[in-house]
Each structure stands twice: as C-alpha cells, then as structure tokens.
Amino acid sequence: MDYFKEHYITLILTAVYVAGCLYIGWHFKKKAKRGVEGYFVAKREIPGWVISLAFFSTSASTNTYIGQAGISFQYGLSWAWMGLIWTFFCVISWQLLGPRMRYQTARLKSFTIPDYFHLRYKSSLAKSIRVLSAFIILFATIWYMVGIAKGCAHVLTSVLDVPYEYGAFAIIFITCVYTIWGGMYSVLWTDAVQGIIMFGVAILMLMVPFIYLGGVDNVLESISYTEHLSKSGKPIGNGLVVFGKLVSFLYILGIGLSIGMKQISEPKNLIRFYSINNAKSMRFAMIWTPIFLGISLVCVMGLGALVHGMTSVEEANYLINNTDEVIGFMLNKFDNKLVSGICVAGLFAAGMSSLASVIIIIGTAFVNDIWHVLKPMPVNKIIPRTKWFMGIYCLMVYVLTLYPMAGIVELTAFAGAVFAASFFPAIFGGLYFKWGTDLGALASMVVGMLVNIIWRFAFRFKYPELEDIHEIIPAFMFSLITYVLVSLLSKKRRPDQKHLANVFD
C-alpha cells in the first residue's frame, strides 16, 4: 500500500501513456492490414504535423534526455554546441533529402531504404546493395535497441523500484505489440504523441533548476564560478561558462557530427519522408521539425551544467563520475511527485518512440529486403512474416538487454557512424546525380564501413593526438569521394535514360 501511496502519480501517468500507445496501435490494426504499402509506409497519407513530430521524437531518445543532458555536468555549457550541430543536420536533412526522397520513392514504388537502392540504381548489383544495406541495418540497430531498452529499464528501476528484467521486458514488448498491430501507422501516430510529450518535458526539465534556485540571476551566479572539482580533480572555477575549458571543441564536433549526421543517413529518420501526404505537409514539416528539435535541445543540452547550482561539493564529486544519474538526482532533489511523474513519462516516450521506429525498420529490412529478395514469397505473406520477425527480433533484444555487453553506448555511436558513412553518399547521389552508378554506391558503402573500422581501431585510440577525431569524419569524406570517383569511372553502368527520366523528371 505504501508503494502505491508513494508512486501513484507516476504510476497513473505511465499507465495512461501506455494505454494511449496501445489504443493507437489497436485503432490502426485494420488499416495497416490493407497491403504492404499501408503497413510499411502508411500509404503515404500522413499529415505534415504528425511526420514533423515523429521525426523529432525519433531523433531524440532517452540517451538525449538522460545521457546528453547529464554530460554537461562534466563539460559545462559548451556542450550546447551539440544542440546546434544536431539542429543544423536536421535542417540539412529536410532541405536536401525530404522533398526529393518523397518524390522519387513514390515514383519508384519504394517502401524501404534498401529497396530504394535497388530500384534507383536498377541492376543485379543494385540487388546486392539492397541485401547488404539490409544486413547493415540489422547489425547496427540491435545495439541501439539494447542501449535504449537498458536506459528505460534503469529509469523504471530507479523511479518505480521495478526490477531491471521486468522493466526491460515491459518497455520492449509494449512497444513491439503496438508496432506489430498498426505497422507504420501506429509508429508515426504514437511517435507524434510522444513528440508532444517530449517537447513539453524538455521545457519542464529546464525550469526545475531555475525554480529550485529562485530565478535566472541565482542560477547564473551559482554556475559562473564553482568550487566543485572536474573529473580530473582540478577545481572547475569558471569552466562551466567558459567555452572549451572543460572539453575540446574538436571532441564536441566529432560526437556532434556522429549523432547529427544520423539524421541524414539513418533509415529510421529517412523513412519518415516516404509517408508524408502532400507538398503542403512537406513544407510544414520542413519548417517545424527543426523548431521542435532545436528548442528541445536548447533546453536539454546544457541542463547538467545548471544542476551544479543544486548540488553540494560531495554530491558534485559523485555526479561528475556518474553523469547518467544527474537528471535523476535533479528530480529527486526537486522532490515534486507531479514533475517527476511527467518527466518519467517523457523519458519513456523518448525511449519508446526510438524503439518503435527501429522495430519496423528491422522487420521490413529482413523480410522485404533479404528474405523476399533471396527467395521471393507471395505478397500476402510479407506482412505476417514481418510481424513474426519483429517479435523474434524483440526477443533477441530482450535477451541482450538482460546481459548487456560493456561499452554499448560507444557501440551505438559507432553504428551511427557506419550508417552515415555507408548510406549517405548512395542516397544523396541517387537523389541528385543522374550519373551516379550502382558500383559507385556499393564501393562507397564498403569504403565507408572499412574506414570507420580502420580509423577507430588502427589510428584513433593508438595516437593520442587523433583521439578527438571521430571516425565519422574520415569515413564520410572517403565514402563520398569514392562514390563520385567510381561513378565517373563506371559510366557504362548508368541506368537507361527512360528509367532516369521516370525517377528525376
């Protein structure tokens, strides 16, 4: 009884939120059954505001609201540059890729990112690119899913005392159920609801230190000079508000690029463009998505630095080495059940929106882009098999979440770098360059992956002066150059003029 008395607000808010997500999934169950185009891309009939919020909510995750927000406790307000870099790539993604991707994928009847490669470059080699890119998706996303599920399960454990294994089970399988029911319809509509919650929670979280300390002046005064120690044991002094004093700009740039560039290359983001219903909606989403993301990141990215004003020296000494606990600490110190409850619902929303987007991507990648390509199946089998595979994959993710390997956050960031370097040139070239070829696309993918691995394991951590240069920078450059060079050297492999006219004109 005491348990319910203590946690009733959080429990009610969480229950309402989960029930809402399941209702959306159930509501779209019938609609999603009506053909592959409905289940995979929601028949390209979703309004712009839904797509905009869905893009925002899938871009930010629990890691943004806990990990990224907390790490500014260590690095100071300079960490807010991450938000700027991230928003910049959101703008690039919508400006460069959004309208063209929607146009070309509708003309090609493409339902997934891997099948876009196949249909756009149109050759037997392009078929191999489809299968290869589907394998990259399967491999790279599993670590991401484990990382998100782990983060959400820890939130449940710390806030509601739910055992880790039950928390992980709940978060993975609730998301899996509504995704299986409604396909892309339920993913997009639940993502939109989750986006609204996340936007509100970002603003609410920023207000906490200001209310606790009694206003803007008091917050600025408390962080402008502090006796707290940095991670290296030296006094922070004015480091929280002085640019680059606690972290190098090159490091911020490397991490910022590796996360920000996901928006121009990750299938879970790019697939959003497929489902938008018309040009008016596209215009709305192009304007509003960077606003939703930018404002949320402004609120969240420097939050940890502000929490210094709420901590004693002893507490700061602990938190500086455990930055993932900074946001939980802040909420506990504020001690308001309603605020904590809303924030917990927001953290679930952040985690579940990212999980659902990935679940449908892996289901379609395996069934439509590997199985169906290697051994064609009747069209009416595609949706049921996709559902089965999503369920099995979620089970695998659950097992891995129970025994998470060390360094999963790093692995997730590495997977993001692999996506950016291997997918972007083939997508961008496919959208803009009529002279782009299948060989150019394949070579850029392989080079992107290899440079990622070689730079990380043979250079970056062997030479201290290279440590701050994230593998995404050289991998992206080499991959892009490879696409251009190989495409120009393999002119004969260009698709015929009729096909190109259908795609571009």
Partner 1 sequence: MDFLTLFPYVGIILLVVINTILVMKRDIKVDRNEDDNPAM
Can you give the binding site for partner 1, defined by CB under 8 A? 76-78, 80-81, 83-84, 87-88, 91, 94-95, 99, 102-103, 106-107, 220, 224, 241-244, 276, 278-280, 282-283, 286-287, 290-291, 294-295, 297-298, 301
CB of 165 to partner 1, least distance (A): 39
CA distances from 221 to 64, 117, 209 (A): 26, 54, 13
Ranges of beta strands (E only) in 150-268 are 226-229, 235-237
CB of 187 to partner 1, least distance (A): 20
CB of 293 to partner 1, least distance (A): 9
User: HEC string of 224-289?
Assistant: HCEEEECCCCCEEECCCCCCCCCCCHHHHHHHHHHHHHHHHCCHHHHHHHHCECCHHHHHHHHHHH
Instruction: State whether residue 227 is helix, strand or coil.
Output: strand
CB of 281 to partner 1, least distance (A): 8
CB 108 within 8 A of CB 325: no
CB of 296 to partner 1, least distance (A): 10
CB of 295 to partner 1, least distance (A): 8
Query: Phi first, then psi: what are they for 241, rounded to 5°?
Result: -115, 5
CB of 256 to partner 1, least distance (A): 10
CA 455 from chain center: how many Å?
23
CB 41 within 8 A of CB 187: no
CB of 289 to partner 1, least distance (A): 9
Nearer to partner 1 by Cβ, of 295 and 446: the residue is 295
Nearer to partner 1 by Cβ, of 290 and 440: the residue is 290
Hey, CA dihedral for 389, 392, 394, 397, is it positive or negative?
negative
> Alpha-carbon distance 495 to 401, whole Å?
44
DSSP state for residue 163 in the 8-state scheme: -
Give the closest residue to 182 by CA, choosing from 390, 385, 30: 30
Nearer to partner 1 by Cβ, of 26 and 88: the residue is 88
Nearer to partner 1 by Cβ, of 17 and 288: the residue is 288
Token pair of 407 as six digits: 């360094």
Cα angle 459, 462, 463 (rounded to 5 degrees) comes to 85
Nearer to partner 1 by Cβ, of 256 and 416: the residue is 256
CB of 42 to partner 1, least distance (A): 15
CB 227 within 8 A of CB 313: yes
Most distant CA atoms of the chain, gap in Å: 74
Nearer to partner 1 by Cβ, of 84 and 204: the residue is 84
CB of 91 to partner 1, least distance (A): 5
Query: Phi first, then psi: what are they for 236, rounded to 5°?
Result: -70, -35
* 351, HSE (Cβ side, Cα atoms, 13 Å): 33
CB of 248 to partner 1, least distance (A): 13
The single residue listed with the structure tokens 């940095």 is 230
Token pair of 69 as six digits: 């927000």
> Alpha-carbon distance 395 to 400, whole Å?
9
CA distances from 337 to 271, 304, 310, 328, 497 (A): 38, 21, 18, 13, 64
DSSP state for residue 276 in the 8-state scheme: B
The single residue listed with the structure tokens 């030296």 is 234
Q: To the nearest 5 percent, what fractions of the chain are helix, strand and coil?
A: 85, 0, 15
Nearer to partner 1 by Cβ, of 166 and 243: the residue is 243
Give the closest residue to 424 by CA, choosing from 445, 408, 447: 445
> Alpha-carbon distance 167 to 150, whole Å?
9
CB of 63 to partner 1, least distance (A): 19
Query: Phi first, then psi: what are they for 164, rounded to 5°?
Result: -50, -45
Nearer to partner 1 by Cβ, of 182 and 290: the residue is 290
Nearer to partner 1 by Cβ, of 290 and 448: the residue is 290
Token pair of 465 as six digits: 């002066």
CB of 99 to partner 1, least distance (A): 5
